[in-house]
Structure 1
Amino acid sequence: MPNEQIPFVHLHVHTEFSLLDGAIRISEMLKKADNLGMDSVAITDHGNMFGAVEFYSKATEAGIKPIIGCETYIAPGSRKNKSPSTDGQPNAYHLVLLAMDETGYRNLSRLVTLGNLEGFYYHPRIDMELLKRYNEGLIALSACLKGHVPYSLKNGRVDKAKKYALELASIFDHDRFYLEIMANKMPEQIAVNKALKELAKDLSLPLIATNDCHYLNKEDAEAHDILLCIQTGKSVDDPGRLKFSNNEFYFKSQAEMASDLNGFPEALSNTLNVAKRCNYEMEFGHYKYPVFQVSGNLNLEEKFAKEAQEGLEKRLVRKEALEGSISAELKNEYKKRLAYELKTINEMGFAGYFLIVADFIDYARKSGIPVGPGRGSAAGSLAAYALKITDIDPIKYDLLFERFLNPGRISMPDIDIDFCIKNRDRVIDYVSNKYGRENVSQIITFGKMKARAVIRDVGRSLNMSYAEADRIAKLIPEGINITLDEAVDAEPQLKAMEEGTDDERRLLRISRSLEGLTRHASTHASGIVISDRPLVEYLPLFKGPNGEIMTQYTMDQVAQLGLIKFDFLGLKTLTVIQDTLNLIEKTTGQAVTLDEIKMGDSKTFQLISSGKTTGVFQLESAGMKELLRNLKPGVFEDIVASVALYRPGPLGSNMVDDFIKRKHGEIKETYLLPQLEAILNETYGVIVYQEQVMRIAQVLANYTLAEADLLRKVISKKKADEMAQQKERFLAGTGQNGLNSNKAGHVFELIEKFGGYGFNKSHSVAYAMIAYFTAYLKAHYPVQFMAALLTEDMGSQDKTIKNIAECKEMDIPILPPDINESQVDFSVVGKSIRFGLAAVKNVGFKAVEAIVHERERRGPFISLRDFCKRVDKSKVNKRVLEGLIQCGAFDFTGVFRSRLFASLNDAIAFGGISEDPNQLNMFNLFLSRKEEDSSFEPIDVDEWTDDEKLRKEKESLGFYITGHPLDRFADVIDQFATTTTQDLVRVKDKSTVKLAGLVNAIRIKRTRKGEKMAIINVEDKKGFTQVVVFPDVFARCATLLNDDRPLLITGDAEVSDNTAKIRAQDIVALETVKQRTINSIVIPVSQGGLNRSSLMKLKDLIFRYPGECQLKFRVTLDGNNQTTVIAHNRYNIMPEENLIKEIESLIGAKVISEV
């Protein structure tokens, strides 16, 4: 019988959203269902509904009825019991639920939500109590062998199976509960199928046929098996790993199901009956606005217009105060533009949206939470500027409202907001409290198994060495979303693997099967959804690993359902700016506000043009610094252009070079038509912005700005047919204006060419403004700015090293931590920066708080003992004290760090017998702390060497501060090193470089041949980089790869985008570099020579340092004549620094090195 005539559809399917368990892509499943003639299909992922919207959309588009379901986890008792089972029961049983209608979908969403939020214990579990409460509109299937009924039957507990089946049947009104038989051919399943048939007959319950599909086709079983290995972190050879017992868990045809379930015709036909009962339809596109309460008699539109008009008046008053009087004509332009925007926004129904955004931004500003000046196309709206949603004047910068909101196509406005990263959560709390916590949520996002990552994952599961899997993964060219197929076409070595060893072919085959599958769920960086009612009525919720609540649907899917999403982004630069302003006021008494900063400050442009922009927002990458040094921005508009130009498209063309040459007059600015000059003069005749394309279309071809925005979109999509239509429209418009047709055609070609690279000017202006503010603060208040930057980057070792190096280049001294001087964060002390106590490792915030509190309460500490007596010992332990001593926080005592460290136990014991820090002993009140301290004497030990001191500084801080191990090799580094970690990204790819640095961390791996290799992190005074040491080099240099050993590494630079690393060719110790270049050592002696005692000492010295370097004596004769005597080669030496010093001390003269 043909498939179409066999009554069956799949109702138990695990897609890729059963993370690292299901391997079925929704599109491919629907295609197979269609080919098989199945008119309905369900998805039932484990404990979640992640795939529901994608599945519904694609299924309806394919003409297949989508049935939304979930294989839920049922707790054996209460979902709130999070203890291991003591009676041998599993921690959860399975139960499949399918939504019949709107009520069923809402109940399923609620159950899945409560499982995640209340019942999570290894799995998101619900319980019988919840099923009794929220079962309406749902059909239940008894699930796989992990379902309670099949599990009991498998274990011979027919009584328990009957009891549980009756309970579920009662909950689901008997006709909504089905006993589920499966066609997976497992012996235990076949036995359970027979038992289920008997149970169904006994209890008058219907049977239903499924196959618990986890992969699409039978041949996909191997790839699915590897997916399970990736999930569990096991290798394929691990005998105890999770593994399916056969290859039958695929999306079978109707004929296969009928054959495998011969004797169960009613179970097959019941799938159609269930499918007919499931008719839920998702509602898309109907906006569900949060309720914004308006007081008084005004409606939303009237309130919006009133707030915007009053806001504009205040803006213009402030503008006049800062910039001088505004002409009546310009004021009229502002009012006319605002009236147009208000009319458009109200007609589109978005007044409430603007009021909601303005409200939470107003809360942030009033709460002292820094807010960015704007982001994206919203900076083009005057209404947003008037409501203080943005701080960008769109008329001043010729920004277009239609780029933000096009009246020609109704779509939700998209206003992204940058908040200070430390306080973003406070704004989320505000909207949660205002609109109801059940109405507000963060949004989920999913990570995919991309080409490089899937090679590594599959390679690891196939027992391939890390080194080999990593080598193959790195053959894949870097690029966004590049696929394995594209990589194989582009890389000959990968192409060769298709015909390579069995292992290589297997790796590629399985990786291709798994590539692109969903790997994990996480929280979207910025997305927040605010609803008009509890979100669970629209969608299920999920709890992240850190307890954050988020939607189970992605940002686009949330919008598809008509829910209103907002982007709350955390931007650390806003925190740096605010902290800098606070430090300026604290240290100078001067209150600086950003709107008072002049946009044409010469000192700021001097800093930017020099490329000294480390820490300056958007301008600190090596490539951007180079662009700025070449461009030498002189006006704010140049910075705006730099932000727009520093992207792969413009950089990959001649566009940036052309722009720079035009600015400096090396290429003359020319305009095909005189009308273009007013539009393009700020960018020297080059089309840089999308808004310029829109203006050109408006001015030359009579486009409305709404029509011009559609042209912009067509250019970005690069569809030939649509471009042809736009060209025809453009030329018709220019013809109406009497423009030369050849020139007009050439202008359109320019639009096509450069418009494709064009960037959103509104976004460029907004981010250039933040860049300018940070550059201004760095130029005028460098100490305060760098202190704020160091505080913000405190958690990043790499960034802190770079920032310290920048301070040294700026001649800003960095003072070590000091328990009497340091604050919690980095602080300003005159023209220096003092390390913050919070930057010391193992000194937590509570300890720092206790130290600062005690210091402020009773004055400075006078000694280690005094400190131990006074601080709260529940917060400051021995480990904290060790770190503070090692980093120099007690150097003010004048006692060597080594002695303080050696005396620490005594100090703690002495301090430990003191009174409670909050209750002073009466007798001690009459003693000075110096008298109290006089009986404590530090243990007398030698001071640490400079190297020991630096090493311990690094242990406690993560970096060096009072010096650096590379300092003593400065002359060697200057002579032999060709790059630094900071400059490495600027060298030519594959070029040979020499880098001086220290081994910061090392990972030793084995190749497939069993040979050792290493991946090392190398640190210099500027930062870190990675060095790969393959077996041939590792064999020669392994003994050198010790932590903090100063090395000179020669190798090939591997440079891509803004990242770089080195493939080592040779590694030598820095102390031997100079010696390797010395051919001979010349010892000057007088004619009388050395006495016998000195000669014997010299001979002993020479024999202690054997080597290849020739030893010579230069003897001064009468009349200042000299002769050279070459010693026998058995006296050849290794010219180490210590030997040279000892010889010079012995002979009382300088030794000469000959290279």
Structure 2
Amino acid sequence: ALEGREPPGRGRGSSVALLVGYLIGISHIDPLKWSLTLERFLSEDTTVLPDIDLDFPRALRDELIERVHQRFGPEYAVLAGAIATYKIKGVLRDLGKALGLPQEELGLLSKQMRSHDARRLREEMEQLPAFNQRVGACGWRELIELAPQLMGAPKLLSQHVGGMILSSLPIPEMVPVREGAMEGRYIMDWDKDSVADAGFAKIDILSLPVLDQLEEALDLVEAREGKRPDVSRIDPKDGKVYDMINAGLSKGIFLLQSPAQLKMGQRLLSRNLLDLAYQVALIRPGVGVQGSAVSQFVERYRHGAEWEYDHPLEERALARGYGIIVWQEQVVQLITDVTGLTAAQADEIRRAFARSNNEHLIALHWEQFREGARSKGVPEEAARTIFAKINGHYMFPESHSHAFAITAYQAAWLKCYYPLEFFVALMNNQPMGFYPLETLKQDARRFGIPFRNPCVNRSEVRCRPEEGAVRMGLVFTKDVGEAWAKRIVEERERHGAYTDTGDLVRRTGITEQAVLSLAKAGAFDGIASNRREALWEAGLTVRPGGNGQRALSLARTESAAALTDFDAREQMIGEYEVLELYPKGHLMEFVRPTLARHVRSSVEVEKLDEGAAVTVAGWPVARQHPRGRDGTVFVTIEDEYGDVQIILWGDVFARYSRELDSQVIEVNGTVSKWDGTTNVIVTSLRAIRVGVRMPRAHDWH
């Protein structure tokens, strides 16, 4: 994969601020142009050797790790270990097993749990009909009591996601090293914190799926036009690209596609890469947890609202965030300016906030902070207010935001100017991002890109462009898998197109279940009278044995049954079942006629005024539980025209959390218009049963 071209790697994290990194090509950000600082990465008094993070396409990352092992040998290049800790599902499984509780019931409870907090286990069980009588039962009572104690405890030693340790001395002489589960990989028994404490050099070789998507999309453009666009030289201020982002049309685009980012695009109205760097940074837990910080930033940055500092010493650190802590570097700068501590000491405080069970550590650092602030003439009340602005939730380094902003912009540029290639590559590099395939397909249709069902005579293994449409790959069909998809394509290329369903079965030996799924997916539509007859034909065909011998093409005496085809609804149900999308339309097209006339569509909701009462229905496709929001949950529901974001305050979510698992929900609420966005504040909702197996909305915490 690496022969003949340089691997398209990119720097990320605070190391992007290195000028030498930019000059030698491991970063694509000019730190002088963006006034990036090095304190977060390498301060003058640091005692910790910094690491460097590099992103590569998934297809190259594994090969690169293997090559590093080969180049330096397992004595001098090994992967860092990682300590996996207990989360709620593991707690229920392992603790429940130790208490002798039935594994089947523990699995059911794990699936039905909504909270990731073991302290809410009793509350969750009381709300579940299958478990509400067991909260006081033997074993279950102990599970409820002990579960919070196991949360966060070490579970097992695993492999770091990509941290490669390089040493000039033999590593096994200092640290235990073992062979990894994957052949050719070697892992040390220390995690990244121990590695840092010991002073080892670490380079994180990471995968970033959007790079696979960009590479494939550019390959497709080159195949069609004969010339490969150089995305490093595109206009970074292209108004058409920003208009698309600001209209909330950035689904499928790296870091700009979450429901929160879609709304942020409409509010921030980015027009350049600096705006975009702010945009990707603002929707991070460490920023959102600061109360109304995001809204305050937008008001100040975009609308010129004024603000005051709690002390003049804050200004240098907070000015670039318009009075808000947006980036990690600001935390270090804030602490050094207010207390006089060194950058290394300040970063130690920042890191302490991110540790678990850190109450004692934070108390010690507060005393250090208070004494330093006092020496700089800062009153204790102001010092306490400033210290409270620091939190341990994740936020980007500033250099990281700039690096990812450029990658996001390049993806947006491709979606804007080459939507067909963009969506083909997006489909082929799933999973990546927030949305199920159906939602991505709907977004493609809004960009004028239709989808075509898999076809045994036209599809490749993966998706491909076909006459301005996305022809779905065979591998997207349930029960087919990559091996069978390749066999179908290779047999077709060697011996010609398939003439009927039985011909495919005889020539490939494909399994009965795979044939059934292909028929439901419409993959035989071009060679069978209808889908029922395709299934009948397959059932009459003798399959070859496991030795690869082909079946003889003997004449059959059975007459083909004159079967009625599936109706449109049955076809839709079948396609959702085996493809997880419906290429021709949307589930809500079939549900809409059954709804009351007052139920609005997503398009109609956008036109309503602030405070208007509204009822809207749709399929829940994404849920977000942002920190610092008192249990508020944001849910995106989708219909055949678009989507609507609904907001459930904590008490409302507690009442209706189970209904949100339904394929379709009907929501009653009021319209909230705010800063160019439209939401529905939910007062009540009900589940609508439609008998279609839809992908369940993902919970993002």
Residues 636 and 643 in structure 2, CA contact (< 8 A), matched pair in contact too: no
* Gap change, CA 1:1063 and 1:578, over 3 Å in 2: farther
Residues 966 and 1046 in structure 1, CA contact (< 8 A), matched pair in contact too: no
Output the CA distance in 2 between the equivalents of 1:994 and 1:411: 43
Residues 456 and 470 in structure 1, CA contact (< 8 A), matched pair in contact too: no
Residue in structure 1 matched with residue 9 of structure 2 by the alignment: 371
Residue in structure 1 matched with residue 241 of structure 2 by the alignment: 604
Residue in structure 2 matched with residue 720 of structure 1 by the alignment: 366
Output the CA distance in 2 between the equivalents of 1:821 and 1:573: 27
Amino acid at match of 2:298: I
Residue in structure 1 matched with residue 218 of structure 2 by the alignment: 581
Output the CA distance in 2 between the equivalents of 1:587 and 1:445: 44
Amino acid at match of 1:667: A
Q: 2:173 aligns with which of 527, 537, 541?
A: 537
Residues 435 and 621 in structure 2, CA contact (< 8 A), matched pair in contact too: no
Output the CA distance in 2 between the equivalents of 1:522 and 1:393: 36
Residues 886 and 897 in structure 1, CA contact (< 8 A), matched pair in contact too: yes
Amino acid at match of 2:67: Y
| Structure 1: unaligned runs, 5 residues or longer | 1-362, 732-740, 918-923, 925-931, 998-1019, 1024-1031, 1053-1061, 1072-1155
| Residue 556 (1) aligns with residue 193 (2) | yes
Output the CA distance in 1 between the equivalents of 2:617 and 2:152: 41
Shift of 1:384: 1.1
| Residue 689 (1) aligns with residue 327 (2) | yes
| Residue 895 (1) aligns with residue 529 (2) | yes
Residue in structure 2 matched with residue 91 of structure 1 by the alignment: none
Q: 1:961 aligns with which of 570, 578, 583?
A: 583
* Gap change, CA 1:936 and 1:595, over 3 Å in 2: farther
Residues 783 and 833 in structure 1, CA contact (< 8 A), matched pair in contact too: yes
* Gap change, CA 1:674 and 1:595, over 3 Å in 2: farther
Helix, strand or coil for the counterpart of 1:982? strand
Output the CA distance in 2 between the equivalents of 1:956 and 1:619: 29
Shift of 1:461: 4.5
Residue in structure 2 matched with residue 324 of structure 1 by the alignment: none
Residues 370 and 575 in structure 1, CA contact (< 8 A), matched pair in contact too: no
* Gap change, CA 1:886 and 1:576, over 3 Å in 2: same
Output the CA distance in 2 between the equivalents of 1:715 and 1:677: 19
Q: 1:526 aligns with which of 162, 171, 181?
A: 162
| Residue 434 (1) aligns with residue 71 (2) | yes
Residue in structure 2 matched with residue 780 of structure 1 by the alignment: 417
Residue in structure 2 matched with residue 156 of structure 1 by the alignment: none
Residue in structure 2 matched with residue 665 of structure 1 by the alignment: 303
| Residue 407 (1) aligns with residue 44 (2) | yes
| Residue 945 (1) aligns with residue 582 (2) | no
* Gap change, CA 1:983 and 1:540, over 3 Å in 2: closer
Output the CA distance in 1 between the equivalents of 2:351 and 2:90: 30
Q: How does 1:899-918 map to 2 (within 5 A)?
A: 899-906=533-540
| Residue 623 (1) aligns with residue 623 (2) | no
Q: 1:970 aligns with which of 587, 592, 601?
A: 592
Output the CA distance in 2 between the equivalents of 1:695 and 1:408: 14
Shift of 1:469: 10
Greater shift, 940-949 or 631-640, is seen at: 940-949
Residue in structure 1 matched with residue 520 of structure 2 by the alignment: 886
Identity rate, percent:
24
Helix, strand or coil for the counterpart of 1:885? helix
Shift of 1:380: 0.6
| Residue 392 (1) aligns with residue 392 (2) | no
Q: How does 1:720-1119 map to 2 (within 5 A)?
A: 720-727=366-373, 759-793=396-430, 799-857=436-494, 860-864=497-501, 867=504, 871=507, 873=508, 876-893=510-527, 895-906=529-540, 939-973=561-595, 974=599, 977-982=616-621, 985=624, 1069=689
* Gap change, CA 1:864 and 1:503, over 3 Å in 2: closer
Residue in structure 1 matched with residue 292 of structure 2 by the alignment: 654
Residues 444 and 554 in structure 1, CA contact (< 8 A), matched pair in contact too: yes
* Gap change, CA 1:635 and 1:730, over 3 Å in 2: farther
Per the normalisation by structure 1, the TM-score is 0.46
**Number of residue pairs matched?**
622
* Gap change, CA 1:502 and 1:398, over 3 Å in 2: same
Shift of 1:492: 13
| Structure 2: unaligned runs, 5 residues or longer | 128-132, 353-361, 601-614, 646-654, 670-681, 692-701
Shift of 1:516: 4.9
Output the CA distance in 1 between the equivalents of 2:302 and 2:452: 43
Residues 815 and 834 in structure 1, CA contact (< 8 A), matched pair in contact too: yes
Greater shift, 981-990 or 565-574, is seen at: 981-990
Output the CA distance in 2 between the equivalents of 1:880 and 1:455: 35
Helix, strand or coil for the counterpart of 1:818? coil
Output the CA distance in 2 between the equivalents of 1:835 and 1:642: 33
Residues 522 and 544 in structure 1, CA contact (< 8 A), matched pair in contact too: no
Shift of 1:977: 4.5
Output the CA distance in 1 between the equivalents of 2:87 and 2:625: 28
Output the CA distance in 2 between the equivalents of 1:604 and 1:464: 56
Shift of 1:773: 1.7
Output the CA distance in 2 between the equivalents of 1:894 and 1:946: 17
Output the CA distance in 2 between the equivalents of 1:561 and 1:678: 34
Measured against aligned partners, the alpha-carbon deviations of 1:43-79 in whole angstroms (never above 9, x if no partner) come to xxxxxxxxxxxxxxxxxxxxxxxxxxxxxxxxxxxxx
Residues 79 and 186 in structure 2, CA contact (< 8 A), matched pair in contact too: yes
Amino acid at match of 2:174: Y
* Gap change, CA 1:1068 and 1:640, over 3 Å in 2: closer
Residues 827 and 836 in structure 1, CA contact (< 8 A), matched pair in contact too: yes
Residues 994 and 1048 in structure 1, CA contact (< 8 A), matched pair in contact too: no
Shift of 1:382: 0.4
* Gap change, CA 1:714 and 1:546, over 3 Å in 2: closer
Shift of 1:422: 2.1
Shift of 1:500: 7.1
Residues 584 and 591 in structure 1, CA contact (< 8 A), matched pair in contact too: yes
Output the CA distance in 2 between the equivalents of 1:915 and 1:427: 40
Measured against aligned partners, the alpha-carbon deviations of 1:834-886 in whole angstroms (never above 9, x if no partner) come to 101221233343433343334445654454466567x5x36x45554443333
Output the CA distance in 2 between the equivalents of 1:994 and 1:673: 41
* Gap change, CA 1:649 and 1:1068, over 3 Å in 2: closer
Residues 807 and 813 in structure 1, CA contact (< 8 A), matched pair in contact too: yes
Helix, strand or coil for the counterpart of 2:480? coil
Shift of 1:539: 3.0
Shift of 1:526: 1.8
* Gap change, CA 1:728 and 1:808, over 3 Å in 2: same
* Gap change, CA 1:565 and 1:804, over 3 Å in 2: same
Output the CA distance in 2 between the equivalents of 1:588 and 1:947: 40
Measured against aligned partners, the alpha-carbon deviations of 1:374-419 in whole angstroms (never above 9, x if no partner) come to 2111001001111211111111111113331123224212101111
Amino acid at match of 2:163: G
Helix, strand or coil for the counterpart of 2:161? strand
Output the CA distance in 1 between the equivalents of 2:473 and 2:307: 52
Measured against aligned partners, the alpha-carbon deviations of 1:405-438 in whole angstroms (never above 9, x if no partner) come to 1232242121011111122110011111111245
Residues 697 and 730 in structure 1, CA contact (< 8 A), matched pair in contact too: no
- For the aligned residue pairs, the C-alpha RMSD in angstroms reads 5.3
Shift of 1:814: 0.7
Residues 454 and 473 in structure 2, CA contact (< 8 A), matched pair in contact too: yes
Shift of 1:820: 2.9
Output the CA distance in 1 between the equivalents of 2:644 and 2:544: 43
